[in-house]
Amino acid sequence: MCYSFSASKDQEVCALCVAEKFFSPTRTRREGRGGTGVSNGGYTFPNVRMTTLTHRARRTEVGKNSEKKVESEEDTNRDRSPDNEDSGDSKDIRLTLMEEVLLLGLKDKEGYTSFWNDCISSGLRGGILIELAMRGRIYLEPPTMRKKRLLDRKVLLKSDSPTGDVLLDETLKHIKATEPTETVQTWIELLTGETWNPFKLQYQLRNVRERIAKNLVEKGILTTEKQNFLLFDMTTHPVTNTTEKQRLVKKLQDSVLERWVNDPQRMDKRTLALLVLAHSSDVLENVFSSLTDDKYDVAMNRAKDLVELDPEVEGTKHSATEMIWAVLAAFNKS
């Protein structure tokens, strides 16, 4: 359990929950596997005398079954090859967009996000909506004559089947139970707790950073430690699997440098979504800080050009993921 700053000395306080509670977003943004093994056919030869033909028949049958299982293994490996995997996920560890955003925002050794970052809370809620849309659980209502803009269209439920993630399933439950339906911007505000309607406070997702951090701990990327800050103890989550974080940082750096395509419709959808969320959560600086000055300027300018595109135009293009541009439009308006 996490306590507020008023906790006594022998009580623990979660650093991420403190940031979540006391530095909630003010709507400002600073500028700048393996496959299964192949068996031997599964045969146990009894201790009986067999003729030469029987031996030959058995060997032939075993060979055929082994070939079939080898082919089955090859098909499985082909399905799991990097080309067929979601390029937004690690080969070994599958992360949600929220987990990736928080991982980018965490200080490696300290294990908490900057206390002055007032954007990451709303950025994580936007990531929840994009993640649900990319998993086929929600979508934007079709445009009409009166509702052409992304921010005017409601979020509709497509499937209420569980995702296996507590935050995603909790949000899905809220969307399913809400009548009338709400827009993307309204949902971000409701999930963050930015509402003056007391009847809408039930939709606020609490302790989001701490819950996401615990997921990362379970996946072996973070660890849990306690640090003493004067009158109280705080629970922090330093990064232990630096390889996974560096992989994530390298992927975003390459997306605007070596693999830059200058067309968001040709970019990997999860990479595009992560760039938008990293910008909206004010953690993009952490991604490019390790680059040389020249590459840093190029990367920041390209990322800036990307997020300054008109969401209304990009969202109407063929094969565009409307929810990504709707979330960007919501943050641009705030």
Q: What is the CATH number of the domain that holds 322?
A: 1.10.3630.10
Express each pLDDT in 96-123 by its tens digit. Answer: 999 999 999 999 999 888 888 889 999 9
Please report the pLDDT score of residue 82 as a whole number: 34
What is the chain's Cα-based Rg?
A: 25
- Domain limits at 263? 12-27+88-333
Q: Quick check: is 70 in a domain? A: no
Q: Is the pLDDT of residue 199 over 50?
A: yes
Cross-strand pairs, 239:
222
Residue 224 lies in a domain: yes
Domain assignment of residue 67, yes or no: no
Q: Position 92: which residue type?
A: D
Sign of torsion over alpha carbons 264, 268, 269, 273: negative
Residue 247 in any domain: the answer is: yes
Q: Is the pLDDT of residue 35 over 60?
A: no
Please give the pLDDT value at position 19: 54
Q: Is the pLDDT of residue 324 over 90?
A: yes
For residue 233, being part of any structural domain is answered with yes
Cα first-last separation, the chain: 32
CA distance 90 to 68: 30
User: What pLDDT band is residue 17 in, cutting at 50, 70 and 90?
Assistant: low
Phi-psi region of 18 (alpha: psi -120 to 50; beta: other; left: phi over 0): alpha
Model confidence at 228, pLDDT cuts 50, 70, 90, reads confident
Q: How many domains is the chain partitioned into structurally?
A: 1
Backbone angles phi, psi at 50, to 5 degrees: -125, 150
Task: Report residue 254 as tokens.
Answer: 């390459």
Structure confidence at residue 169 (pLDDT): 97
- 268 pLDDT above the threshold of 70: yes
- Residue 73 scores a pLDDT above 50: no
Q: How confident is the model at residue 2 (pLDDT cuts 50, 70, 90)?
A: very low
Q: What is the pLDDT of residues 229-256, one digit of tens each?
A: 777 788 899 999 999 999 999 999 999 9
pLDDT of residue 323 exceeding 90, the answer is yes
- For residue range 157-185, list pLDDT tens digits in order: 999 999 999 999 999 999 999 999 999 99
Mean pLDDT of 187-214: 92
Q: How confident is the model at residue 148 (pLDDT cuts 50, 70, 90)?
A: confident
Lowest mean pLDDT among 143-152, 265-274, 285-294, 308-317: 143-152
Q: Does residue 80 lie within any of the structural domains?
A: no
DSSP-derived secondary structure for 6-74: T--TTSEEEHHHHHHHHS---S-------PPPP-S-S----SS---HHHHHHHHHHHHHHHHHHHHHHH
Looking at residue 227, what is its pLDDT?
Answer: 82
**Block residue for tokens 């075993």:** 62
Cis preceding linkage at 180, omega within 30: yes
The residue count for the chain: 334
For residue 264, the model assigns a pLDDT of: 93
Is residue 230 included in any domain, yes or no?
A: yes
pLDDT in tens, 210-223: 999 999 999 999 99
Mean pLDDT of the chain: 79
pLDDT band at 90 (very low <50, low <70, confident <90, very high): very low
**Domain annotation covers residue 314:** yes
42-72 pLDDT, tens digit per residue, is 434 344 344 433 344 444 444 444 444 434 4
